[in-house]
Chains A and B, each alone.
Chain A
Amino acid sequence: MSATLATRGLGDKLTGLFWRKPNLLLMLLLMPPLIWLGLVYLGSLAALLVQSFYSIDEFSGVVVPEFTLRTYGELFRAQNMDIILRTLMMSASVTIGCAVLAFPIAYFAARYARGPWKAAFYLGVMLPLWSSYLVKIYAWKLILAKEGIIGWAAGATGTTPILEAVLSIPGIGGNSLSTSFLGTWMVFVYVWLPYMILPMQASLERVPQSMLEASADLGASRAQTFRTVVLPLALPGVIAGSIFTFSLTMGDYIIPQIVGTSARFIGLAVYQLQGTAGNIPLAAAFAVVPIVIMVIYLMLAKRAGAFDAL
């Protein structure tokens, strides 16, 4: 019998070993990625935490590697609290804007689009999601510039006074759209919109047709069905999408740098503090803020059942 079997090489011996000890193969598969993620990623997150408990010597500008809560204390200074509150307000309003714009697209794609239209809607959302982030922002710089297409369109249609009136609103207005909070908000909404549409559409697609029919059979008008059946069932999707829009807005520092006033957001503060200011401990402490906020946000979202919609 043994003559008919090929000589057993190393591969065959290992195969036998894996067969006897399936966990060994699992271990070998998991080892490299876990070492990478554990070392590079978790290690870095730990380094971030460590740095945030260091402080900087105000005279020499050198990082003092001793445990202190002073750096976190600095976050509570008025100017830093302003940055945090401004970022939260922006994240919230961007999330609302995305939800309002995304809903009709997601609803149409989930309920009415069929065949090639379905594919078109899918690609139509997917391509902007994946296409270059900087190119998208650049496009908006062109659009929002004072001499750009919006200003031109307003002039051509005689609506310049309306544009001026909007821009003169204190707080959100400015010299032109590209130097106002309103402009920053528009770019944020545009860039993160696909992240809201996808989970929304996924949860709307799971609303059974029979429930809508049952609602109609029981005498509900379309508006009533929408309000009492569709919306509550779509809510987890909205919350799932809001996780992305909220988190992405909170961490972004490119958009407010290119479009908007020079007022700082958390991301921009982190970037400037670690770069030109060389204050890595305070930058690290600032970076911990979005993590804490997102952990709270995720816990609330989990309660609302948002993870089933992902």
Chain B
Amino acid sequence: MHSDRAGWGLKIAAFGGLLFLHLPILLIFLYAFTTEQRTYQFPPPGLTTQWFGVAWNREDIWPPMVLSLQVAAISTVLAMILGTLVAGAMARTRFFGREQISLLIILPIALPGVITGMSLRSAFAIMEIPFSVWTIVLGHATFCIVIVYNNAVARMRRLSGGIMEASADLGANTFQSFRYVLLPNLGSALLAGGMLAFALSFDEVIVTTFTAGQQSTLPIWMLNELVRPRQRPVTNVVAIVVFVVTFVPILLAYYLTRGGSETAGAGK
């Protein structure tokens, strides 16, 4: 059937588009090995692995790294708790205000980050809250809730409602049913949601610049290097680290939830 074959033009445009999405990132890896540190000369005049050692010994990289990991870890835990709770409420029951709540959960990620950031900044200014790790966490947890929620609610909808009833019939109370029936079934979806939330938080820069004050997370460190470059290949090494720390959880999340109608990540 000739109508079921894609034309060459379409094929080239589609695969060309996919390449366009992926090739730029490879350059980050190439430039981490260049011997040229003042310009972005292509092709690199020579290759070296010295920048990995230089980056390791740079003292200004470690504190932002630690801060980013801290913030991402705390935000992920908070988002997992809050996201699971709201998913539990929204999965099966219909109640007044349900639509409004689902809008409220999506809003922090649907509105541009600059609005979320500026809103938090305004609130801190009015209430005279000093910047700290917790002001960053406040912002991150808020937009991570939706990620965990999306994953958890999709899995809950797919689960048969009968298993909770069966558990209750067999004498389990609500908490036992949650612990021994719901949680094991929900596990991989929650893990996937948590990993995506971690990746999102670790990499976030727009909201963070408004809520961090003088503190520096790894993305903020990178942003400063992009605006005022020093040792350019070192920035590339850090970029690779950021890339890997976000990339690995995303791939894992995909494999944890693939095959379902709920594949993780469709709703960033």
Residues of A within 8 A of B (CB): 11-12, 14-15, 18, 22-23, 25-26, 29-30, 32-34, 36-38, 40-45, 47-48, 50-51, 63, 101-102, 104-105, 107-109, 111-112, 119, 121-143, 145, 147-149, 151-152, 190, 193-195, 198, 212, 216, 222, 247-248, 250-254, 257-258, 266-267, 270-271, 274, 280, 283-284, 287, 290-291, 294
Contacts and interface: CB of A to CB of B under 8 A. Distances in A.
A133 B205 contact: yes
Given A18-B174, A51-B125, A148 B101 contact: no
B166 interface: no
Interface string B12-35: 011001101110110110010000
A32 B222 contact: no
A25 B168 CA distance: 15
B216 interface: no
B110 interface: yes
Given A42-B104, A123-B254, A47 B119 contact: yes
B170 interface: no
B256 interface: no
B6 A127 contact: no
A250 B114 CA distance: 9
A310 B156 CA distance: 20
Contacts of A216: 3
A248 B116 CA distance: 12
A44 B207 CA distance: 13
Given A12-B173, A287-B119, A254 B205 contact: yes
Contacts of A125: 18, 21
Contact of A147 (B6, B41, B116, B176): B41
B66 interface: no
Given A41-B142, A104-B17, A121-B18, A48 B242 contact: no
A270 B117 CA distance: 10
Contacts, number: 269
A269 to B, nearest CB: 10
A251 B114 contact: yes
The 8 closest A-B pairs by CB, nearest first: A251-B112, A104-B13, A108-B14, A44-B119, A15-B173, A47-B123, A139-B24, A145-B40
Interface string B224-247: 001100000001100100110011
18 contacts: A14-B173, A14-B175, A29-B86, A30-B86, A33-B86, A37-B108, A41-B107, A41-B119, A45-B119, A47-B122, A105-B13, A132-B239, A133-B203, A138-B226, A247-B110, A251-B114, A271-B209, A274-B210
Contacts of A143: 24, 27
B182 interface: no
Nearest to B115: A287
B185 to A, nearest CB: 17
Contacts of B127: 47
Given A14-B174, A138-B222, A147 B40 contact: yes
Contact of B265 (A130, A138, A139): A130
Contacts of A14: 173-175
Contacts of A270: 114, 118
A280 B125 contact: yes
Residue picked from A102, A193, A194, A274, most chain B C-beta under 10 Å: A274
A195 B112 CA distance: 14
B236 to A, nearest CB: 8
B10 A148 contact: no
